[in-house]
Amino acid sequence: MAHTEDEILAGLAEIVNEETGVETSDVQPEKSFTDDLDIDSISMMTIVVNAEEKFEVRIPDEEVKNLVTVGDAVKYITGAQA
């Protein structure tokens, strides 16, 4: 079953919180992973792997660099769902 954008945003917020300690309420679509949430590349890869498992999607390594904001990730996951 496909997840809604709100469900994906909430799920990403939980994953980011577990990995980095950033408050889930701070994980908003307009926030940049690196600039606003201060997520480094290693944590980002862990977040991607966890998001792939949670939402049953594949995010190729070459796509990760295009996921600048939380909203970018939500849109990508929404589009990648089968």
Q: In whole angstroms, how far apart are CA 76 and each of 21, 23, 70, 73?
A: 23, 22, 10, 5
Q: Which amino acid is at 46?
A: T
Res 11 pLDDT > 80: yes
Would you state the pLDDT for residue 40? 96
pTM given for the model: 0.94
Res 82 pLDDT > 80: no
Please give the positions annotated as active site.
Answer: 40
Radius of gyration of the chain (CA): 11
High-pLDDT (> 70) share of the chain, %:
99
Q: Which CATH number fits domain 5-80: 3.30.56.10, 3.10.20.600, 1.10.1200.10, 3.40.50.10490?
A: 1.10.1200.10
Query: Residues, the chain, total?
Result: 82
CA–CA gap between residue 63 and residue 72 (Å, rounded)? 10
CA–CA gap between residue 18 and residue 24 (Å, rounded)? 9
